Copies of this chain bind each other. A is one copy, B any other.
């Protein structure tokens, strides 16, 4: 069907190795030979087969991109950045969707069977079972947007969620709010829990302030809205930190339908800086993760891990600062 190395060699009247060498950079071929081979290859439309090559080179340039987060629009952006960045380096993402009930061991074995060079896990809610299973196949791997503390001997890139939670509390306190609420995602999400820990730590240093907390059922608009509707049966806090934008936007909708003015009656801050947080009818003050840097750094980390031998590689955590994006749902800094 498609032309092979052998076809090219025959047509050019040279050995197969010669052809192979013209298509391998750094190999020793004379100019004359190279021209002869390239001519034959062009005429036949020959392209080397990456998979056959991988058998001897032990490099497929395939990277498993594993996620279970296919509902939060934030992750479309994450996938966009990951795919472009990997492609720039000649790496190819094999996308693996582990939402639904997938067996961790099967998934890990599948990745090994496809000889992926490395694995990127992009999710903050990946189960422990996957972490263990992936580790067993001994592939270079990096966890992105994942929990900092859970696997100390593995590459992690993201923000420090505890620090981000603490920062959120400091911002709200800095605006002079006295009755402050934390509204998280589901309690099984490590991202939410880490943010909660940081948030609580700061609040506990201010016993003069009133601190309440609650958790939405899921990382979704509806869950955020429902939870806020529940909270609004009682007099609300003066300001809330919603541990994710999509939840905060749900909460905002609940506030509006209760006739509450934001930020005049109640303040609200999110986290993630979704594109729609900037929409004119939402205009959510939020904390931004530097996604581009996080992704770039993850890809760079996996790319260098591919070069090193397994023993040489020392896993690292790369934590980035999150920063406030001021919009219209918090009152301005307290002056005086």
A residues adjacent to B (C-beta < 8 A)? 2, 47-52, 54-55, 60, 62, 65, 70-71, 73, 75-77, 79-80, 83-84, 87, 92-97, 99-100, 109-110, 112-115, 221-222, 225, 249-250, 252-254, 256-257, 275-276, 279-281
Hey, which chain B residues are within 8 Å of A87, CB to CB?
Answer: 96-97
A296 CB to nearest chain B CB (Å): 15
A268 CB to nearest chain B CB (Å): 13
A95 CB to nearest chain B CB (Å): 4
How distant is the Cα of A77 from the Cα of B99 in the complex, in angstroms? 12
How distant is the Cα of A286 from the Cα of B62 in the complex, in angstroms? 40
How distant is the Cα of A87 from the Cα of B87 in the complex, in angstroms? 22
Hey, which chain B residues are within 8 Å of A275, CB to CB?
Answer: 71, 221
Hey, which chain B residues are within 8 Å of A62, CB to CB?
Answer: 94, 114
**A113→B281 contact, CB < 8 A:** no
**A114→B92 contact, CB < 8 A:** yes
**A50→B257 contact, CB < 8 A:** no
**A94→B97 contact, CB < 8 A:** no
Hey, which chain B residues are within 8 Å of A99, CB to CB?
Answer: 80, 84
How distant is the Cα of A84 from the Cα of B100 in the complex, in angstroms? 9
Known: A55-B55, A76-B79, A221-B279. 10 other contacts (CB 8 A): A49-B115, A51-B115, A70-B77, A70-B83, A73-B76, A83-B95, A92-B94, A93-B95, A94-B94, A221-B276
**A225→B280 contact, CB < 8 A:** yes
How distant is the Cα of A94 from the Cα of B91 in the complex, in angstroms? 11
Known contacts: A47-B112, A99-B80. The answer to whether A276 contacts B276 by CB under 8 A is: yes
Name 24 A/B residue pairs within 8 A (Cβ), A-sorted.
A47-B112, A49-B115, A50-B115, A51-B60, A51-B115, A55-B55, A65-B95, A70-B77, A73-B73, A79-B79, A80-B97, A83-B95, A83-B96, A84-B97, A84-B100, A87-B96, A87-B97, A92-B110, A93-B94, A221-B276, A221-B279, A225-B279, A225-B280, A253-B279
Hey, which chain B residues are within 8 Å of A96, CB to CB?
Answer: 83, 87, 92
**B47→A55 contact, CB < 8 A:** no
Nearest B residue to A52 via CB reads B55
Known contacts: A73-B73, A77-B70. The answer to whether A50 contacts B114 by CB under 8 A is: yes
Hey, which chain B residues are within 8 Å of A253, CB to CB?
Answer: 279-281
**A80→B71 contact, CB < 8 A:** yes
**A70→B65 contact, CB < 8 A:** no
Hey, which chain B residues are within 8 Å of A252, CB to CB?
Answer: 281
